[in-house]
């Protein structure tokens, strides 16, 4: 990849191969951690095939559900049962069937506003982590899943939004989304998302070709500023690459 970039680019044939590759990476990271593992999920449509795969026999049987905790990197500020709620989607596809309820950590949306939700989730993350400062030697998450939007946003970190510049807060409220759905968001910040052993972007389909081209050209986009303190991986399919399959 382009100049001095530490990300790893992995190309696969199609969305099915991408989901399999993501599931295998997720499982490998869980296996590497003999204790309590923490996975930060993402929303939108990109991770749905992965979540469906994790619910199938071959995968669910390999997940040590008792010691894996599930978080989410951003949320749309709508009730948990609303069809566009990110954690609601993950719960419906796989978590509610297999994960102990105490291991599922949704961003609360029953608060007065997205700022209050962010404060509550930040304190939940800090109590899970056992400290209020992130130690680069002790990442918060084993894996952080990410997607990328057409404008280069990732999680709910939009271009030119002040949330991008947060260095102290772990979670912030974003009163206005820059793209659909236009509901307030709650998002983990770059330092919190980056505190992980692996940050794994899933980028598939021809509709992602334009933004993937801009990412690979190292444009100043939120998704290009999101980096793991460990490994950052772009998992892309042939259509997103514009048909190339190196």
Shortest distance, position 181 Cβ to ligand 6PG, whole Å:
8
Three-class DSSP labels, 205-231 = CHHHHHHHHHHHCCCCCHHHHCCCCCE
The span from the CA of 198 to the CA of 244, in Å, is: 26
Q: Which stretch binds ligand 6PG (CB under 6 A): 20-28, 32-40, 51-59, 142-150?
A: 142-150
Q: Which of residues 90-129 bind ligand 6PG (CB under 6 A)?
A: none
CA dihedral 97, 77, 75, 215 (to 10 degrees): 140
Q: Does 161 bind ligand 6PG (CB under 6 A)?
A: no
Q: Which of residues 6-45 bind ligand 6PG (CB under 6 A)?
A: 42-45
CB–CB of 93/53 below 8 Å? no
Q: Which stretch binds ligand 6PG (CB under 6 A): 147-155, 159-167, 212-220, 237-245?
A: 147-155
Token pair belonging to 202:
């899933």
The span from the CA of 144 to the CA of 32, in Å, is: 15
Residues in the chain: 246
For ligand 6PG, the closer of residues 127 and 213 by Cβ is 213
CB–CB of 226/194 below 8 Å? yes
For ligand 6PG, the closer of residues 61 and 162 by Cβ is 162
Binding ligand 6PG by CB under 6 A: which of 88, 149, 173, 184? 149
Name residue, tokens 């996975």: 39
Shortest distance, position 3 Cβ to ligand 6PG, whole Å:
26
Binding ligand 6PG by CB under 6 A: which of 37, 155, 163, 172? 155
Q: Does 49 bind ligand 6PG (CB under 6 A)?
A: no
Q: Does 224 bind ligand 6PG (CB under 6 A)?
A: no
Name residue, tokens 């026999």: 57
The residues binding ligand 6PG (CB under 6 A) are 42-46, 74, 76, 86, 147-149, 153-156
């Amino acid at each position: 990849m382009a100049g001095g970039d530490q990300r790893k680019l992995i190309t696969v044939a199609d969305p099915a191969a991408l989901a399999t590759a993501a599931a295998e990476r997720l499982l490998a990271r869980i296996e590497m951690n003999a204790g309590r593992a923490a996975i930060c999920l993402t929303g939108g449509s990109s991770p749905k095939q992965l979540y469906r795969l994790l619910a199938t026999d071959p995968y669910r049987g390999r997940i040590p559900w008792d010691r894996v905790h599930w978080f989410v990197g951003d949320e749309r500020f709508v009730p948990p049962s609303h069809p566009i709620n990110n954690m609601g989607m993950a719960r419906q596809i796989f978590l509610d069937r297999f994960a102990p309820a105490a291991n599922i950590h949704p961003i609360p949306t029953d608060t007065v506003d997205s700022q209050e939700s962010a404060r509550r989730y930040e304190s939940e993350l800090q109590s899970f982590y056992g400290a209020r400062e992130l130690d680069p030697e002790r990442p918060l998450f084993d894996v952080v899943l990410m997607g990328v939007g057409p404008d280069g946003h990732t999680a709910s970190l939009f271009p030119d939004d002040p949330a991008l510049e947060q260095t102290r807060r772990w979670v912030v409220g974003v009163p206005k989304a820059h793209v659909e759905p236009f509901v307030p968001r709650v998002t983990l910040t770059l330092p919190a998302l980056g505190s992980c052993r692996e940050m794994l972007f899933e980028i598939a389909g021809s509709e992602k070709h334009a933004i993937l081209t801009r990412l690979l050209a190292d444009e100043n986009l939120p998704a290009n500023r999101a980096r793991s303190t460990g490994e950052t991986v772009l998992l892309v399919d042939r259509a997103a690459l514009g048909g190339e399959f190196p």
